[in-house]
């Protein structure tokens, strides 16, 4: 009888352990919201080294902002490096493939972080699977060439639609670098239809400008933050031909389950704007942006 009871106890605890493990693994499929993060005591920042948002040296505009946010929440900051291919899955637990303005869910993957912050452009397909914070930084996609290219920058017309059309007309039969799964995906701007000879760049966004300087292609797409850094880093070696997109916003991204966390971040960001912290950090990492987008930083939301 004792042996039977012992076997029953082992079966019961084994079953209970399986249930608890099932709860734990089920929980891993759901993004953490504010209460879970406070209980855990750690805010996991998903970042990709890119321009001056995440420099790769432990600092950057978004690194400093998220560190301050973690401090505001009373939790420890943890940086988790990701990639443009895996970042959505690392945040939401869903590996996706963009398809124009929408996306396709491919499979479930482990969640590795709570917030994406690295100059993450607001794109329609991304909005299908994540929710964004209040805009943090202005951007736009520019057409960039070597300084000695025979192409001349367009003459601004005062109408953005006309300027985009003029810049797009210059890509015909020319090699152009783009980057999949980012705002520099050429298909987002109809560049193949415009006749560009597109090459998808395999390396990081920070390497696009030097690739053009080194003659790997005649032109590349760059967004405003990366272009500003490149023009400063390689003076006299690059030139901006014109815009290929309307004005866009960059913001932090959250899983759609993380409603309270996103609300807390928006409130924190508003306080940073009110007390001058936000503008101080932007001036530290992107001083030239005020020459191009002053209205963004002086508008009603800033």
**C-beta pairs of 207-211 under 8 Å, 24+ apart in sequence:** 208/177, 208/179, 208/184, 209/144, 209/233, 209/234, 209/238, 210/234, 211/177
- How far, in Å, CA of 117 to CA of 53, rounded? 8
Q: Categorize the per-residue pLDDT at 1 as very low, low, confident or very high, splitting at 50, 70 and 90.
A: very low
In the predicted model, is pLDDT for residue 32 greater than 90?
Answer: no
Q: What pTM was computed for the model?
A: 0.83
Give per-residue pLDDT as tens, 135-163. 999 999 999 999 999 999 999 999 999 99
Segment 216-221 mean pLDDT: 97
pLDDT of residue 124: 94
Closest C-alpha to 84, from 201, 249, 198: 201
pLDDT of residue 28: 46
For CA atoms 21, 26, 28, 32, give the dihedral sign: negative
**Residues whose CB falls within 8 Å of the CB of residue 289, separated by 6 or more in sequence, listed in order:** 137, 138, 224, 225, 228, 282, 297
In the predicted model, is pLDDT for residue 301 greater than 60?
Answer: no
**DSSP category for residue 234:** S
Q: Using DSSP, state whether 227 is helix, strand or coil.
A: helix
In the predicted model, is pLDDT for residue 5 greater than 80?
Answer: no
In the predicted model, is pLDDT for residue 296 greater than 80?
Answer: yes
- How far, in Å, CA of 260 to CA of 34, rounded? 6
For CA atoms 23, 26, 32, 33, give the dihedral sign: negative
Closest C-alpha to 222, from 210, 236, 209: 209
pLDDT of residue 295: 87
Give per-residue pLDDT as tens, 234-273. 999 999 999 999 999 999 999 999 999 999 999 999 999 9
In the predicted model, is pLDDT for residue 6 greater than 50?
Answer: no
pLDDT of residue 7: 44
pLDDT of residue 3: 44
Residue 207: Cβ-neighbour burial (10 angstroms; 0-12, 13-18, 19+): middle
What tokens does 93 get?
Answer: 């637990």
Phi, psi of 26 (to 5 degrees): -65, -40
Give per-residue pLDDT as tens, 74-118. 999 999 999 999 999 999 999 999 988 889 999 999 999 999 999
How many degrees, rounded to 5, is the angle at CA 227 between CA 225 and CA 231? Answer: 125
Give per-residue pLDDT as tens, 173-205. 999 999 999 999 999 999 999 999 999 999 999
């Amino acid at each position: 009888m004792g042996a039977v009871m012992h076997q029953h106890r082992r079966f019961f605890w084994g079953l209970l352990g399986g249930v608890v493990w099932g709860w734990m693994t089920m929980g891993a499929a759901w993004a953490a919201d504010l209460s879970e993060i406070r209980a855990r005591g750690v805010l996991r920042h998903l970042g990709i080294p890119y321009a001056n948002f995440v420099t790769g040296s432990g600092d950057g505009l978004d690194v400093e902002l998220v560190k301050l946010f973690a401090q505001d929440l009373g939790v420890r900051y943890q940086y988790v490096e990701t990639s443009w291919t895996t970042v959505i899955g690392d945040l939401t637990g869903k590996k996706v493939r963009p398809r124009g303005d929408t996306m396709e869910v491919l499979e479930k993957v482990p969640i590795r972080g709570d917030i994406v912050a690295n100059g993450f452009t607001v794109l329609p397909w991304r909005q299908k699977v994540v929710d964004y914070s209040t805009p943090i930084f202005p951007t736009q996609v520019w057409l960039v060439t070597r300084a000695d290219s025979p192409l001349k920058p367009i003459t601004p017309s005062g109408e953005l639609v006309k300027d985009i059309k003029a810049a797009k007309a210059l890509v015909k039969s020319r090699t152009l670098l783009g980057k999949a799964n980012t705002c520099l995906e050429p298909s987002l701007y109809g560049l193949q239809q415009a006749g560009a000879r597109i090459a998808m760049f395999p390396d990081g966004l920070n390497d696009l400008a030097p690739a053009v300087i080194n003659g790997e292609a005649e032109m590349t797409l760059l967004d405003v933050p990366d272009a500003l850094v490149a023009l400063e880093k390689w003076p006299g070696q690059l030139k901006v031909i014109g815009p290929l997109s309307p004005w866009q916003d960059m913001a932090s991204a959250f899983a759609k389950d993380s409603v309270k966390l996103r609300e807390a971040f928006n409130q924190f960001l508003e306080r940073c704007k009110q007390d001058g912290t936000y503008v101080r950090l932007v001036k530290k990492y992107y001083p030239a942006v005020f020459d191009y987008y002053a209205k963004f930083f002086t508008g009603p939301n800033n």
